[in-house]
Chains A and B, each alone.
Chain A
Amino acid sequence: DIQMTQSPSSLSASVGDRVTITCRASQGITNDLGWYQQTPGKAPKRLIYAASSLQSGVPSRFSGSGSGTEFTLTISSLQPEDFATYYCLQHNTFPLTFGGGTRLEIK
């Protein structure tokens, strides 16, 4: 199975901060990666697909980059509604696998 190592597992930041979350794949997955945001009690919501394409309706402060084994999600200026848990998902190889999640908390 492809392991998706997500870091950090938790992060404290302030409104207006720029934050970066990383996912590292145990083997190359080209750009077959998405980023998801989950708030408590809600289903996940896709932010980024194909590693760097912004999902329709998602604010432009979210961006993704990377290819192969290293991927990043960047939030350019944190807003109060961004405090949530973030997951990456690789869909290159079965079984599809998620990163362990990054919990983004208010400092």
Chain B
Amino acid sequence: QVQLVQSGAEVKKPGASVRVSCKASGYIFSGHYMHWVRQAPGQGLEWMGRINPNTGDTNYAQRFQGRVTMTRDTSISTAFMSLSRLRSDDTAIYYCARWDVWGQGTTVTVSS
């Protein structure tokens, strides 16, 4: 079945970077955009951007431009989201999503 499995929880210090992975299975990885969405504690959903796994082309939300990088490795059907210069308000659950299928979420905690 179609599945997205994300990497485990991360704890980072302010100013550091984090990379979250999302391994796809059960479908042709290059055939569907992969989106990244985050959810701060007790808050709503926020779209961060997307990557075309076939071409590597990306679209980022303006507020993350310059800090976020989305990449993919088609040989292992995995998408990656890196966020740099972390701040405490980046503490959130980060999801990858194909819209009809979502990863389980990765908790990123930013704390000194």
Task: Give residues in A with beta carbon < 8 Å to B.
Answer: 34, 36, 38, 43-46, 49, 55, 87, 89, 91, 94-101
Q: CB distance A101 to B47 under 8 Å? A: no
Q: When each residue 76-112 of chain B gets 1 if its CB lies under 8 Å from chain A and 0 otherwise, what string results?
A: 0000000000000000000101011011110000000
- Which B residues are CB-close (under 8 A) to A38? 45
Rank and list the top 6 A-B pairs by shortest CB-CB distance, nearest first: A43-B102, A95-B61, A96-B47, A98-B45, A101-B44, A46-B100
- Which A residues are CB-close (under 8 A) to B37? 44
Closest residue on chain A to residue B44 by CB atoms: A101
- Give the secondary structure class of B's interface: strand
Q: Bin the interface of chain B by size.
A: 10 to 19
A95-B65 Cα distance, complex, nearest whole Å: 12
B75: Cβ under 8 A from any A Cβ: no
